Structure 1
Amino acid sequence: MLAALAGPALAIDTLAPAGPGGASDAATELDRVTVTGDIAYRDRSEATAPTLSYGLDYFQRFEPLTVGDMLKRVPSVGFVSDVLEFDGARLRGLDPGYTQILINGKKVPGAGGDRSFYVDRIPAELVERIEIIRSPSANRSGDAVAGALNIVLRDAYQFDGGYLRAGAAYFDDGEVKPVFGAVGSGDVAGGRLLGGVNVQGRHNPKRKRSDRFDAPDGDFVDREDQSDVRDGTDYSGNLSYSREIGTGKLSLDGFYVRTDRTETEHSLEYNDPASRARDHLLSVNDQKVDIEQRNATLNASYVFDMAGGRSEIDLGYARFDDKRFDTEQEIGYDDEDTPPSFDGFEGTRILGDTRDSELSFKLAHTRALGAAKMEFGVDGLDKRRKTSLRTSEVEAEDEGEPLPPYEDFSRQHSRIEERRIDPYLMFSGKHERIDWETGLRYETTRSKIVSSAEEGDDSRRDQKDYGLLLPSAHLRYNLTEHDRLSASLARTVRRPNFDQLLPLTLEEEYGDNDFLGNPALRPETAWGLDLGYERRLGKRGVVGINLFYRKVRDLIEIVGTGRPSATALDDHEDAIEEFLDENPGAGPGTPGYPVLDPDSFVFTAANVGDARVYGAEFDLSTPLTALGLPDTGVFLNYSWLDSEVDDDFGRRRFNNQPSSVLNVGFIQDLPSLGMSFGASYRRQGDAYARVLGEEVSTHYGADLEAFVEKRFGSRVAVRLTGSNLLNASKDEAFNKFNTLAEQVDREYDEYERESEKAGRVYQVVVRYAF
């Protein structure tokens, strides 16, 4: 079990950011790699903090569509998304909220209630490199219990000239989607300007089958056959401008991504495990979700000489808008009749609107302090998140009758504001063979939550302030010019999910149990240790191993409040009504009068205790020059992952943490033919999740990708790539329960087995460099 091939790429050793005067030569060379035959390998980062760096050229020959496609090839990143979907990156297998996603080193907002960012929405063509920062430094935000993923976008000083990219992707159901991209850069107004555009057709036709039983070894209940098609287009653009002003450098950059997406599901439910006959039909369900997402960032920075050192001023604005128009309609049939008879027609429309924006600033100063370097500064963040959810339910009782219009929408809305001022102080230096860095960061947070369950209701306001001291220390010992050891110790934080904070009641969120958010939650904190060894192999190869440990405190879990749920109260009211019908004039003192004895309750989120996360990560990226095969490159990454959490039912791992992540692959260049080919194999270990009312085991099939490339001169390359060539499936087993007591006693409400497949994808892309 050894993790993550890196999807190799196109051509050069990644270039370090060029300074003034050297930019043009470096950038011109970078332009040419689009069509050369060199094999690129994982870069050896010179950062003292443990960092892995992967240039776009490392991935590009497999023509990844998105950052999610890229991240699935690097160490320790898992996904629990649908097949061919790579939204929430799970570094070290932990929930996406434990991983900090940075773009150009800065935090970005996302639509996820767990504060995560959908990496599947950023086109790969915008990216210069991806960095895995295993342990944070004092000059970065501490929201990185699992680590941070820094997505570095193309920079004007890193690219000169331009290229065009055009092609098409062919999907399993016969659909063809376009692929187009263009990037250009050059000298403008005394500086350098880079611009790029990208249009990416997206399509994912999935097929699902679910079989349900009354228990794991029980009787068959029903079967559901479902088609699920995700279809859309991503449009993106980015600009970068840099120029020297006085003693400093001004940098302006921004990007914009627009996603138009439709998710269409059609389900047929039968009371027979094999038959599709109308006599066995139980329901017909159709759901369509129209999604419109907008993601934009603008940043400005000026780095200049001041007071005997180097100062930096950064300003940034980022915004994420997510609008959803979700309509689900179902016709049900009563199987007590033979054949099943019409039992109702109902529909639900949900209108969701989320806007998450962040305004940030940074002031920093770096100067020499004897043989060391001192950096101090302050980061500021003003985050505002607004969410509105409107719901309408309608029904038609007679067969053939249309649904009435969707009216009388109920509404929940909330607003969360967070203001942070985070000062830090950091020292670093080098002594003979030792590189070191240490620092302190103090993160202060003032949060305000305003929520209302219905239009016109009085809004509830909650406020919570807290501060956290986050020390960090990193040490690297250079044994030889090829070998080095590293050690890191840091304290990190994970703030509560937004939906865990909102004091709104979600009925039947866990079986028959309700959920009520808790605005008084404290953030989770973690002490983390990383120990690593890395060796340079020849001129371009790298091999490394890393051990990590995290001790998480104030873990947030779901706990009971003791209050009866809405379902229990409704059942009690029905029992009283039935008793009064049979006993007119009776009252609470009447013998036999129903007494409330709930079996389902209101649950909430609370800080419950500690947890542990640990594992080992191995990566290898090297040409086989020592074996006489300089034109053969191999890539191997393997991560073993484990953790311990105690909940109401005993001990388990962190939910949905895979036991391992493996990627392995190769690239073979044929210089005399101007051709290359290669393959990449990925396997993710099984995962398990247990929450109130449901336990899920997940198994993923292996994923195989391959490419063939033909180059024409130094400017044109044509690539054919194939993805999901093994037609991998995602198989899940759901154990479902209505109440906590029934879950403890293993009294099942339902046991379900679900399998999902998406089919193979083929892509042809032509690249032209100029």
Structure 2
Amino acid sequence: MGLAMALAAPCAHAADSSKTLDKVEVSGAASSDRKDASAAKTTVSAAELNRFGDASLVDALQRIPGLSVERSSSKGAVVSLRGLGSGYTQLLLNGDPMPQGFSIDSIAPQLIERIEVLRTATSDMSNQAIAGTINIVLKQTSLKRRGELKLAAGHYEKQFSPSFTVDRSMGSERFSYGIGAGLADLRDRWPSSSVTQSTVLGSTQPQRFQNDSSEWRRERRLNLMPSATWKPGDQQALTLNGLLQRSWTDFEAPDVRTALAGDPVLFPIDRLVTSQRADQLRVSGAWKSPVGESARIEAKASHSAVTRTTRSNFYATAADASLLLSRDVGSTLRDRSTLLSGKYSHGLSSDHALAFGWDAEFGQRAESRDQTERSPVGLPTQDLSESYTARISRLAVFAQDEWELSRQVSAYLGLRHESLSTETVGNVLDAVHSRSSALSPTAQLLWRLPDTRGDQVRLSVAHTFKTPTARELIPRRWVVNQNSATSPNFQGNPNLRPEEAWGLDLGYERHLRGDAFLGVNVFARRIRSVVLNRVQFVDGAWMEVPVNSGNAKVLGLELEAKGKLRQFLSTDADVDLRTQVARYWSALSALSGPGNRLSRQPPLTASLSADWRPAGSPLTLGSSLVFRQEALVRMSPEQTVRKSNRALLDAFASYKYSKDITARLVLSNLLAQDERQTTHYQGTTVDERTELLTSTFRTVRLTLDIKL
């Protein structure tokens, strides 16, 4: 197999001749060829991503093999690869690092071209990918006239959520342009009830109370996505892309607190009301051009801006509705970042190519928070005015060599050096300077087994890392409304060091007729300087602080299969099957006892989906079952968290009225399982346990897809 096919894959990195360059330029479909990609990856097309017509990208991501989603009601969701979130999974947008403060869930799934899931690192992407990388590729312009319109409406528990998206593209051989737009009015509810029992060690009288809450949120969202492509030559292209998002969010969390034992509660009733407006802007340009007959140069520039303004009001009252305490908080966030990158690829022969490149990112994050409190009954109050500015710069250089040694063996070698510098100043904290760097080699080997139709073995060894976030580094306090050992405040730690990992991946793949696939993959990671959050009682309040805490070992086994049912059983039914099962293990040297696992990693995840098209019928029926097993997790020597297992069952029926009109009925969360979580803190002075129960609801959603 020639190098041109490997170069068409998203992780292939060079060119060899003018003919090869032309193939790279026009063969977008080849980039999704899992079999020929130099790195282990899964590519999810727009059609597969939108099978269930989801209004939320996170809802669609949780059905992708290898990905899992951990939800936390109004606090959002964490998307994990191989069960590892919290920064271990790298998120990219069009191949570039996701800007801080940028929300992927605000992108309408219908405006996405494809999603690439890479399980191993490559040097032309940042090696901040201990678990792997999720690359979200937005829709681009098309030389052919293209138009799609989607109308949708969802309903659950008296909540109505309509949405609208349109995608239009047109152009000629040399110039094409398009625009995508989305409108959505999304509503959610999270009714919950918790019981907290706290005992001061040595005391015989525990403090026990129940908290009933009914959080709800409404988000109105607008997306605009213009793009244009100019091709002055057969192998030259200038591409411009934009993404503008504006959202208005209203959130309310009323709480009723009842003393079950011990002293009366301080706040029997409280209510948090929050309104927020957020703007997200991203513009990018890319230029590709051949250099001579066997080389190519690529250059890219992008700028991102995030602005968020929030107003929160907290009211605490007695049982007779008399005011005990009020707190007004106004905060602003402004995040700006600019990314510049370039790559030079040179084909030494039809089977051997080299590439060199660099990328640099410069950003500034400014945040302010003003708090005013008052208490008619004389409770302690605190007025605050806090602000800080963080400047972040990142510089990386890389080199890589791809060589097809024979028809059976392909090799990849890469080396990347990346440095990160952070400087933070504020009116209530000392100046903080943080610098780190990492040299990351990567080696990959693909062996196509002789005398087989599509069996192959992949081997990868890579050095990866994870840098602390600005929130983790800045020694500023984030305050909760009801402070306790199981619900502490948070403060960053400027002395945090990056986590570094060596990883090994070994996979066996069997590619059958069509796109049928069977695969097994095992992986191991050894991580140094793992960051754990320690909870301590500081200055009259419980505080959570991240600290580097020893090493961790991670192991995993993943099984995946997809294809037509008739390829596995004797049947004429037109059924597409997809299934995945993964088992994960981890252990930390700094912890002992039960629950010694990393970053809330689930022991087991599994998914099964099927689509059936009755012969001669315009109807398609489909279903998806996603399961996430949970286990006791020790977050620190003093604190453990246990969540209930989670099973999510969705189903849809789509009817194709014509080649241009399709209607879809979707039933989501059919099992409607309640979510349970137990948080336990056992320190030297306090033993506290919180049992939380959160309700979930079934959802009905109707969509209408129209091709224009």
Q: CA deviation at 1:722?
A: 0.9
Contact persistence 2:453–2:512 (CA under 8 A) = no
Please list, as runs of the form range in 1=range in 2, the aligned pairs for 1:166-205 lying within 5 A after superposition: 166-172=151-157, 174-187=158-171, 190-205=174-189
> Deviations for 1:402-455, whole angstroms, at most 9, x for unmatched residues?
x99xx98412222221222211110002122112111100112222121232xx
2:125 maps to 140
1:590 maps to none
Distance in 1 between residues matched to 2:269 and 2:582, nearest whole Å: 43
The equivalent position to 1:641 in structure 2, one of 562, 584, 590, is 584
Q: CA deviation at 1:219?
A: 7.2
Distance in 2 between residues matched to 1:417 and 1:698, nearest whole Å: 37
2:496 maps to 521
- For residues 433 and 630 of structure 1, do their structure 2 counterparts lie closer, same or farther at Cα, with a shift above 3 Å needed? farther
Q: How many residues align?
A: 673
1:250 maps to 238
The equivalent position to 1:758 in structure 2, one of 696, 700, 706, is 696
Distance in 1 between residues matched to 2:48 and 2:375, nearest whole Å: 54
Please list, as runs of the form range in 1=range in 2, the aligned pairs for 1:230-629 lying within 5 A after superposition: 230-246=217-233, 247-271=235-259, 283-307=268-292, 308-333=294-319, 345-370=324-349, 371-397=351-377, 409-430=383-404, 431-453=406-428, 460-479=430-449, 480-504=452-476, 511=485, 517-558=492-533, 565-567=538-540, 604-626=545-567, 627-629=570-572
Q: CA deviation at 1:372?
A: 1.2
Distance in 2 between residues matched to 1:324 and 1:392, nearest whole Å: 14
SS in 1 for 2:276: strand
- For residues 357 and 324 of structure 1, do their structure 2 counterparts lie closer, same or farther at Cα, with a shift above 3 Å needed? same
SS in 2 for 1:657: coil
Q: Give the TM-score normalised by the residue count of structure 1.
A: 0.81
- For residues 94 and 159 of structure 1, do their structure 2 counterparts lie closer, same or farther at Cα, with a shift above 3 Å needed? farther
Segment drifting more, 191-200 vs 17-26? 17-26
Distance in 2 between residues matched to 1:560 and 1:697, nearest whole Å: 17
Amino acid at match of 1:185: S
- For residues 498 and 540 of structure 1, do their structure 2 counterparts lie closer, same or farther at Cα, with a shift above 3 Å needed? same
2:670 is equivalent to residue 725 of structure 1: yes
Q: CA deviation at 1:162?
A: 0.8
User: Structure 2: where are the runs of 5+ without partners?
Assistant: 1-7, 11-18
2:213 is equivalent to residue 223 of structure 1: no
- For residues 350 and 86 of structure 1, do their structure 2 counterparts lie closer, same or farther at Cα, with a shift above 3 Å needed? closer
Contact persistence 1:554–1:608 (CA under 8 A) = yes
2:629 is equivalent to residue 699 of structure 1: no
Please list, as runs of the form range in 1=range in 2, the aligned pairs for 1:56-95 lying within 5 A after superposition: 56-82=46-72, 87-95=77-85
Q: Give the TM-score normalised by the residue count of structure 2.
A: 0.87
Contact persistence 1:178–1:200 (CA under 8 A) = yes
Amino acid at match of 1:414: Y
Q: CA deviation at 1:20?
A: 10
What is the CA RMSD across the aligned residues, in angstroms? 3.4
Distance in 1 between residues matched to 2:509 and 2:558, nearest whole Å: 12
Contact persistence 1:505–1:514 (CA under 8 A) = yes
Q: CA deviation at 1:694?
A: 4.1
- For residues 706 and 648 of structure 1, do their structure 2 counterparts lie closer, same or farther at Cα, with a shift above 3 Å needed? closer
Contact persistence 1:451–1:502 (CA under 8 A) = no
Contact persistence 1:449–1:462 (CA under 8 A) = yes
Q: CA deviation at 1:202?
A: 1.0
SS in 2 for 1:766: strand
Distance in 1 between residues matched to 2:354 and 2:670, nearest whole Å: 52
> Deviations for 1:729-758, whole angstroms, at most 9, x for unmatched residues?
211112245xx423xxxx51x322111113
User: Structure 1: where are the runs of 5+ without partners?
Assistant: 1-14, 31-41, 112-116, 274-278, 334-340, 454-458, 569-599
Contact persistence 1:83–1:757 (CA under 8 A) = no
Contact persistence 2:143–2:172 (CA under 8 A) = no
Amino acid at match of 2:426: S
SS in 1 for 2:43: strand
SS in 2 for 1:157: coil
Distance in 2 between residues matched to 1:386 and 1:635, nearest whole Å: 45
Amino acid at match of 2:357: G
1:3 maps to none
SS in 1 for 2:231: strand
Q: CA deviation at 1:104?
A: 0.8
- For residues 505 and 170 of structure 1, do their structure 2 counterparts lie closer, same or farther at Cα, with a shift above 3 Å needed? closer
Q: CA deviation at 1:528?
A: 0.9
Distance in 1 between residues matched to 2:21 and 2:605, nearest whole Å: 41
2:149 maps to 164
1:585 maps to none
Please list, as runs of the form range in 1=range in 2, the aligned pairs for 1:668-683 lying within 5 A after superposition: 668-683=612-627
- For residues 301 and 19 of structure 1, do their structure 2 counterparts lie closer, same or farther at Cα, with a shift above 3 Å needed? farther
Contact persistence 1:451–1:503 (CA under 8 A) = no
Q: CA deviation at 1:362?
A: 0.9
Amino acid at match of 1:106: D
Distance in 1 between residues matched to 2:318 and 2:591, nearest whole Å: 36
Segment drifting more, 210-219 vs 703-712? 210-219
- For residues 560 and 284 of structure 1, do their structure 2 counterparts lie closer, same or farther at Cα, with a shift above 3 Å needed? closer
Distance in 1 between residues matched to 2:399 and 2:249, nearest whole Å: 44
Distance in 2 between residues matched to 1:408 and 1:85, nearest whole Å: 25
Contact persistence 2:591–2:636 (CA under 8 A) = no
Contact persistence 2:9–2:33 (CA under 8 A) = no
Distance in 2 between residues matched to 1:514 and 1:23, nearest whole Å: 51
Distance in 2 between residues matched to 1:506 and 1:59, nearest whole Å: 36
SS in 1 for 2:666: strand
SS in 2 for 1:625: helix
Q: CA deviation at 1:209?
A: 1.4
Segment drifting more, 636-645 vs 622-631? 622-631
Amino acid at match of 1:59: L
Distance in 1 between residues matched to 2:693 and 2:34, nearest whole Å: 40
- For residues 751 and 322 of structure 1, do their structure 2 counterparts lie closer, same or farther at Cα, with a shift above 3 Å needed? same
- For residues 24 and 180 of structure 1, do their structure 2 counterparts lie closer, same or farther at Cα, with a shift above 3 Å needed? farther
Distance in 2 between residues matched to 1:712 and 1:484, nearest whole Å: 42
The equivalent position to 1:631 in structure 2, one of 571, 574, 589, is 574
Amino acid at match of 1:196: G
Segment drifting more, 350-359 vs 281-290? 281-290
Distance in 2 between residues matched to 1:92 and 1:66, nearest whole Å: 21
SS in 1 for 2:394: strand
- For residues 165 and 221 of structure 1, do their structure 2 counterparts lie closer, same or farther at Cα, with a shift above 3 Å needed? same
The equivalent position to 1:712 in structure 2, one of 633, 657, 660, is 657
1:155 maps to 140
Q: CA deviation at 1:376?
A: 0.4
> Deviations for 1:242-275, whole angstroms, at most 9, x for unmatched residues?
12124411111121222221121122222469xx
Distance in 2 between residues matched to 1:218 and 1:670, nearest whole Å: 66
